[in-house]
């Protein structure tokens, strides 16, 4: 069993990577890093609830009908001691006044539904930086799909949003999922693809980057050869997390991961350990929390937090 | 026969769901909820007359030629004791001065004609928030077609409109009709589709959502399985209305319904009873009112209102 | 022979239909209705000269070469006692200073040429509301093509123009011609199509609507049935004009007609009588005026005006 | 040999056609008409050097390598006594300071290269009205391609540019070349096509219009018939120039011509005589000047100017 | 061995070519020309690191893993004595505060990834002029792809960016790479293509132009003939560099080159000598620097600099 450790990267060090950003951005980064049970550790657990829009209400909430209520998620994120709660406009508007100040909020600014299913998803901007400010959020979120034919419009929309957000002291969180007709399904989570997506998000000026956990597959032949020739280890998940972190400005940008496809809890906890051991910064955990009963989700998040703290 | 009941949800409670919206928005919501014969009950009957644009004047008004006159509809909504009258720019401009203050107005900001018939309707913005303010309206309306290929442009246009409307204290009413080449005709009114459309409207920040009444069909296999596994009743229309209301933020957003295809009056009244019994918030009734003679329409709306009051 | 009649609708009554428009708009409507030989009658004859752009100079002016000169048309409209002169930017710029104040001007804001012939014409905005103000115009004109695939862009461009025009006290005149790949040639002038186009223009907020004279054909089966069932007469042209006027807000919007295809003068005069007898508001007469010699055109317009006055 | 004549149209008369334009525009028109060896005659010779962008540097300058230097063209236009020098942003920026005030400048605001060759050229806006003001130019130039599928975008871009230019007192020069898939090669220079293009430019509000010299071909059957019926002479080039001038507002707009395809000098001089005799306003001469040695080009322009003066 | 020479073009002379630009632009050009080991020579070596975005992190940095760190490249450019460091937003944001003032920065404003590979690359704007100002950069960079179907959008985006950049005193650096479906692979680096691309960049108002080294191939027949007829030498690389410089305003614009495909160091050094001997202005060197170990890259750049100084 892993022993508790003093945090290896303090908040001060993390903030130093963002030197040059205005005090507003640093303040909101600080708020994110110093909230909840992982406050001050440099690790994060964020509750995202964008599934209502992305997958529809039945797929998202029928398994735990209490979750149809937007207030439920505020309560969940607060009670579990998460660092932040991220959701689209409607869900945040529904509770931002009642829970004002109790949990850092991240407003997702674009959304995509699956009522018309596209191989090259484009998403729509569904909220603004002004909305985020009006709701008291610490940051904004935006999803890009590198690999899609029209990714250009996403990058340009993100550019405008990020500029306005930073001007207004908001943190910019970018979800980067490689997709698109040219990419085989397996390539979407390939190590080189995921790290390329993370690199793009970083170059676009993201403060925090959210990607999937990379598989051991490397889709691009030349990248594969270069990784091998230069002895970069990728067999273990923790190695891949290390390489992911390195790929996103050598650890100078906060990169967090989602758990990916449904699986047993133990498998998820093993992934969390790999993120921790690989030097990752934390997790975005949605379906494994609000899609089970309150007590079970509390226990689940508790375990995740204890793993990040090094207690398990 | 159902007895009169004290309203189960008061206006105060309803307004509390919109905490965080500016006082202008709350004021206009209050006006909508406290106007007409259903004032204070938390129920609404709204008269919409956008058919002239959407279906052409002959199909809309030939059955009751008095209805060619835009003033007719103002008079109808006022005399019947509706909560509000909703129409496109031309119809509202034609009477807003003469009937100023007598009935809350909702300006429909986009419209679509069928002179060029499209499987993926897109609509055009045909009026602005500034128009709504100039005409003394309490809110704006906008139609989205989730499931269509270009729904993205609608969501983004709505986003801009909603932001400006809320800034100016106007209520945002979203008509959400699933359509598009990928959806079988039957799926358009399927329970999971209708509730998905309502969820999207809610996440986009709509204050009031207008959808069709859902059928007992569930188009998406996974949703069907989840609804069954979790014992969510959908066989009776009132159950489906309950589930619809739950799907739109667990009852924390006003959802109203249209009657759908032409049918006998008794069938419509049964639907209204199901909306009432399922906890719905009211109806938008167009064709069943202005497409019959004045006296008949008065009687029709009277029955609807008495049902909502619990008197029938 | 029809005797002179007192006007059945006075200017005051017409202005009352536009209650709620700002005094600037009312002032310019008044100017249009009270200029020329039909001043005060509620009828209008407008000279439009957009053919140079729409059909090219040879087709437009070779038949009467004096008409190549932009000043010719100002003189023609003034001498004939028209209510207004409507033309694109170049033609108005060429004479607006010299004839300042002598005739109400309507600046056509979009134009379309036939050098590239399209089944779905889209037109281009070729002048602005600011241009209209700078040139002393009383209003702006805009052509929409309901039935075309991209009519949406036209409606949205018109919306922006109309909003700015009304804000600045200008009258908005909309030319509405149904076109497009889905419409059979015969359907373009069908009664239901023309009245649908007029309804769309009215709903878009037009103050004055210009459509073609409708034929007795009804293209849409359901509309045909409804018109028949409700005993709406359409066999005589004057009946169709009555129905057209009714379709555009039951007579509460000014609707004017063009003469359509070239035909003998007597046939045109019969059409004018039908417009008058059906309660129409007047004519836009282009090719039948400037494409003949000065004296002949003077006589032609004189006859038209006398018909509208009821003198012939 | 033609004798020297007093100018048939004076600058005062020309300026009177532009009555209503603001004094800034009139001032810059005056500067154009009163500069160089043709000052005051109402005739113009303009040096245009946009070939570097339009055809590439080798095709443009290899024949006279001194012309690679942007300063060369300033010197050429000044030494030859041209009325103005027209070029894209880069070429004007390179010498505008050094030659400030020595020659009226026209900044070409759009450009098109042939590295990707299109049947429907669209061009790109490559400079702005603000650039023209900053460089001390008297006017801006813009090329439209009537007959192309997307001409609409050009007309609308020109509209915005022309509005801003006129507001700022700049002269608007429009190059109008009919092109596009629907037009046979021969039709591009047909009399009816060229005059239609000139009419469009005039209606768009151009102060000065540049078209190709029209051939005796008439592409549109109906136009051909009308020209014949009305006895409009088109057999001689000078007749066609007269008709061209008439087509562009009956001589109330300045229309200038280019020489077209490479041919012997004498043939070009004959064309210049036809322009003069037909009442044309002058020439834009590019390739026949800077693509030969300095002395030869001086002699060439000298001959052109003497022809316009009536000395040859 | 080549002897050290006094610089043939001084900074003063170079600045004189940009007369008319505002003092802010001249100041930043001066800073670029007077920084690093080539300060004052009129030659430049710039370190560009946009490969992370353009080719992905593995292909870019795995060969020298220290280069994953954005600070590495600041240190490299400073230690090597480069004139400037150019990179996208993320990389510059990561170190601009820490290395403020130590090296002139050029912010690349558009980027393109290869996760979706296109024959007609379009790129996305990923940063703004405001970003460049906020980061203390001396200039902005933008890549155009002449020859691609949608180059028009790039030219127009560049136009807006360049206008804003110049207004704010920033230097505009344009990367011009001919690409696109119509161009054979060989034609992309053909002498006429490369010089056409350089000409376009110059006409668009670029202060500094970056193109590939041209091959001896001439793709366009007419250009080939003209070059031959006029005795323009193109057989040796230094001749081609001379012709390239001439093509970009006869040497009045700074043109720099990249090394192109991977090859032996000696081959690269020979190319540098050809650039120098042909009158070129310097090199942009990316992959040959940060993709090898620190010491090797220092030695490599040292050699390049000594060649430009004439010491080798």
Percent of chain E at pLDDT > 90 equals 90
Mutate to test the interface with E, among D48, D62, D107, D114 (most CBs of E within 10 A): D62
* pTM of the complete model beyond 0.90: yes
Question: Do residue B155 and residue A88 have CB atoms under 8 angstroms apart?
Answer: no
What is the SS3 assignment for B185? helix
C166: annotated active-site residue: no
Q: Which of B21, B196, B205 sits opposite A89 (nearest CB)?
A: B205
Q: Are E178 and E187 in contact (CB under 8 A)?
A: yes
Q: For residue A235, how many other CB atoms are within 10 A of its CB?
A: 8
What confidence category does residue C257 fall into, taking pLDDT thresholds of 50, 70 and 90? Answer: very high
Name the helix (H) or strand (E) containing B105.
strand B105-108
**Average pLDDT of span C168-178:** 98
For chains C and D, tell me whether 3 or more CB atom pairs sit within 8 A of each other. yes
Residues 210-229 on E with a CB inside 8 Å of A are none
Closest CA to D139 of D60, D44, D55, D53: D44
d(Cα D284, Cα A256) in Å, to the nearest integer?
Answer: 64
Residues paired with B84 in a beta bridge: B46
Q: Which of E195, E203, E218 sits opposite D53 (nearest CB)?
A: E203
pLDDT for B117 equals 84
Residue A140 backbone phi and psi in degrees, to 5: -120, 150
- Answer whether residue C213 shows pLDDT above 60: yes
d(Cα C189, Cα D39) in Å, to the nearest integer?
Answer: 56
d(Cα C212, Cα C195) in Å, to the nearest integer?
Answer: 10
pLDDT for D169 equals 97
Average pLDDT, chain D: 94
Burial class of residue D3 (count of CB atoms within 10 Å of its CB; 0-12, 13-18, 19+): exposed
Taking the Cβ of residue B172 and every Cβ of chain A, the question of whether any pair is shorter than 8 Å is answered with no
In whole angstroms, how far apart are CA C258 and each of D122, D153, D272, E12? 35, 29, 45, 70
What does the DSSP 8-state code read for residue D310?
T
Residue D98 backbone phi and psi in degrees, to 5: -65, -35
Closest CA to C109 of C47, C169, C154: C154
Radius of gyration of chain B (CA): 18
Instruction: List chain D residues with CB under 8 Å of E148.
Output: 116
- Chain E: residue whose CA lies nearest to D61: E247
Residues 82-101 on B with a CB inside 8 Å of C are 88-91, 93-94, 96-98
Residues contacting residue C207 through CB under 8 Å, at least 6 positions apart: C18, C21, C25, C29, C139, C171, C172, C173, C253, C254
Closest CA to B300 of B255, B263, B274, B275: B263
pLDDT for C126 equals 98
pLDDT for C262 equals 62
- Answer whether residue B248 shows pLDDT above 50: yes
In whole angstroms, how far apart are CA E197 and each of C88, C182, E176, E246? 40, 45, 6, 13
Listed range (B90-99, B184-193, C258-267) with the worst mean pLDDT? C258-267
Query: Per-residue pLDDT tens for C280-300?
Result: 999 999 989 999 999 999 999
For chains A and C, tell me whether 3 or more CB atom pairs sit within 8 A of each other. no
Burial class of residue B1 (count of CB atoms within 10 Å of its CB; 0-12, 13-18, 19+): exposed
d(Cα A184, Cα A147) in Å, to the nearest integer?
Answer: 11
Six-digit token string for B197: 């459309």
d(Cα A200, Cα E60) in Å, to the nearest integer?
Answer: 13
- Chain D: residue whose CA lies nearest to E19: D97
Cα angle: D53, vertex E230, E282; to 5 degrees: 60
Instruction: List chain C residues with CB under 8 Å of B72.
Output: 250
Q: Are E49 and E290 in contact (CB under 8 A)?
A: yes
pLDDT for A36 equals 96
d(Cα E310, Cα E5) in Å, to the nearest integer?
Answer: 6
pLDDT for D117 equals 84
pLDDT for E260 equals 60
What confidence category does residue E66 fall into, taking pLDDT thresholds of 50, 70 and 90? Answer: very high
Q: How many CB pairs under 8 A join D and E?
A: 132
**Average pLDDT of span E251-279:** 91
Q: Are B128 and C155 in contact (CB under 8 A)?
A: no
Six-digit token string for C175: 């030319």
Q: For residue C211, how many other CB atoms are within 10 A of its CB?
A: 26
Question: Do residue C220 and residue B90 have CB atoms under 8 angstroms apart?
Answer: no
Instruction: List chain D residues with CB under 8 Å of E227.
Output: 58, 62
Question: Do residue C197 and residue B91 have CB atoms under 8 angstroms apart?
Answer: no
Taking the Cβ of residue D231 and every Cβ of chain C, the question of whether any pair is shorter than 8 Å is answered with no
pLDDT for A1 equals 32
d(Cα D126, Cα C215) in Å, to the nearest integer?
Answer: 50
C-alpha neighbours within 13 Å on the C-beta side of residue D110? 26
pLDDT for D1 equals 32
For residue B183, the distance in angstroms to the closest alpha carbon of chain C comes to 22
Per-residue model confidence as pLDDT tens for chain A (312 residues): 333 334 446 899 999 999 999 999 999 999 999 999 999 999 999 999 999 999 999 999 999 999 999 999 999 999 999 999 999 999 999 999 999 999 999 999 999 999 998 889 999 999 999 999 999 999 999 999 999 999 999 999 999 999 999 999 999 999 999 998 889 999 999 999 999 999 999 999 999 999 999 999 999 999 999 999 999 999 999 999 999 999 999 999 999 998 766 679 999 999 999 999 999 999 999 988 999 999 999 999 999 999 999 988
What does the DSSP 8-state code read for residue E19?
B
- Answer whether residue C260 shows pLDDT above 70: no
HEC secondary structure over A140-171: EEEEECCCCCCHHHHHHHHHHHHHHHHHCCCE
d(Cα C110, Cα C124) in Å, to the nearest integer?
Answer: 5
Question: Do residue C116 and residue D148 have CB atoms under 8 angstroms apart?
Answer: yes
Q: Are A45 and A39 in contact (CB under 8 A)?
A: no
Question: Do residue E117 and residue A178 have CB atoms under 8 angstroms apart?
Answer: no
Q: Would you list the DSSP string of A191-222?
A: HHHHHHHHHHHHHTT-SEEEEEPP-S----HH
Percent of chain C at pLDDT > 70 equals 96
- Answer whether residue B9 shows pLDDT above 70: no
Percent of chain B at pLDDT > 70 equals 96
pLDDT for D266 equals 95
pLDDT for B161 equals 98
Q: Are C242 and C278 in contact (CB under 8 A)?
A: yes
What confidence category does residue E312 fall into, taking pLDDT thresholds of 50, 70 and 90? Answer: confident
pLDDT for E174 equals 98
Residues paired with D142 in a beta bridge: D174
pLDDT for D181 equals 81
pLDDT for C261 equals 62
Closest CA to B143 of B114, B168, B184, B172: B172
Query: Per-residue pLDDT tens for A27-65?
Result: 999 999 999 999 999 999 999 999 999 999 999 999 999
Q: What b/e readout covers D178-216, taking b as 16+ CB neighbours within 10 angstroms? A: bbbebbeeebbbbbbbbbbbbbbbbbbbbbbbbbbbbbe
d(Cα D168, Cα E167) in Å, to the nearest integer?
Answer: 18
Question: Do residue B56 and residue C220 have CB atoms under 8 angstroms apart?
Answer: yes
Q: Are A215 and A236 in contact (CB under 8 A)?
A: no
Q: Which residues of B are catalytic?
A: 210
d(Cα B130, Cα B119) in Å, to the nearest integer?
Answer: 31
Question: Do residue A21 and residue E135 have CB atoms under 8 angstroms apart?
Answer: no
For residue D209, the distance in angstroms to the closest alpha carbon of chain C comes to 12
Closest CA to D208 of D7, D36, D45, D2: D45
pLDDT for D182 equals 84
Instruction: List chain E residues with CB under 8 Å of A253.
Output: 90, 94
d(Cα B21, Cα C210) in Å, to the nearest integer?
Answer: 44
Question: Do residue D59 and residue E226 have CB atoms under 8 angstroms apart?
Answer: yes
Residues 15-74 on B with a CB inside 8 Å of C are 52-53, 56-59, 61-63, 65, 68-72
Instruction: List chain C residues with CB under 8 Å of B98.
Output: 19-20
Closest CA to B207 of A73, A123, A89, A140: A89
Taking the Cβ of residue D180 and every Cβ of chain C, the question of whether any pair is shorter than 8 Å is answered with yes
Q: Are D123 and E157 in contact (CB under 8 A)?
A: no
Q: What b/e readout covers D125-149, taking b as 16+ CB neighbours within 10 angstroms? A: bbbbbebbbbbbbbbbbbbbbbbbe
For residue A100, the distance in angstroms to the closest alpha carbon of chain E comes to 32
Question: Do residue E115 and residue A178 have CB atoms under 8 angstroms apart?
Answer: yes
Q: Are D304 and D38 in contact (CB under 8 A)?
A: no
Q: Are A256 and A280 in contact (CB under 8 A)?
A: yes
Q: Are C181 and C119 in contact (CB under 8 A)?
A: yes
Average pLDDT, chain C: 94
pLDDT for C242 equals 97
Average pLDDT, chain B: 94
What does the DSSP 8-state code read for residue B19?
B
């Amino acid at each position: 069993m892993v022993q508790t450790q003093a945090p290896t990267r303090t908040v001060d060090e993390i903030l130093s990577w963002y030197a040059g950003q205005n005090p507003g951005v640093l303040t909101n980064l600080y708020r994110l890093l110093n909230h909840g049970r992982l406050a001050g550790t440099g690790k994060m657990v964020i509750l995202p609830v964008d599934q209502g829009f992305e997958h529809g209400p039945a797929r998202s909430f029928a398994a735990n009908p209490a979750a149809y209520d937007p207030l439920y998620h505020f309560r969940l994120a607060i009670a579990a001691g998460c660092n932040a709660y991220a959701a689209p406009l409607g869900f945040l508007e529904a509770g931002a006044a009642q829970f004002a100040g109790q949990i850092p909020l991240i407003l997702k600014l674009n959304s995509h539904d699956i009522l018309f299913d596209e191989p090259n998803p484009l998403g729509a901007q569904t909220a603004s930086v002004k909305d985020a400010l009006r709701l008291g959020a610490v940051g904004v979120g935006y999803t890009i799909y590198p690999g899609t034919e029209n990714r250009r419009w996403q990058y340009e929309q993100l550019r405008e949003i990020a500029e306005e957000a930073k001007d207004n002291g908001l943190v910019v969180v970018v979800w980067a999922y490689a997709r698109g007709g040219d990419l085989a399904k397996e390539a979407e989570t390939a190590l080189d693809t995921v790290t390329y997506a993370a690199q793009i998000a970083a170059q676009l000026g993201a403060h925090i980057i959210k990607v999937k956990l990379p598989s051991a597959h490397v889709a691009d032949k030349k990248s594969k050869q270069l990784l091998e020739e230069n002895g970069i280890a990728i067999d273990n998940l923790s190695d891949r997390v290390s390489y992911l972190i390195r790929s996103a400005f050598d650890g100078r940008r906060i990169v967090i991961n989602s758990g990916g496809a449904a699986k047993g809890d133990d498998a998820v906890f093993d992934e969390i350990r790999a993120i921790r051991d690989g030097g990752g910064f934390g997790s975005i955990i949605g379906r494994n929390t609000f899609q089970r009963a309150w007590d079970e989700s509390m226990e689940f998040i508790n375990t995740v937090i204890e793993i990040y703290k090094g207690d398990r």
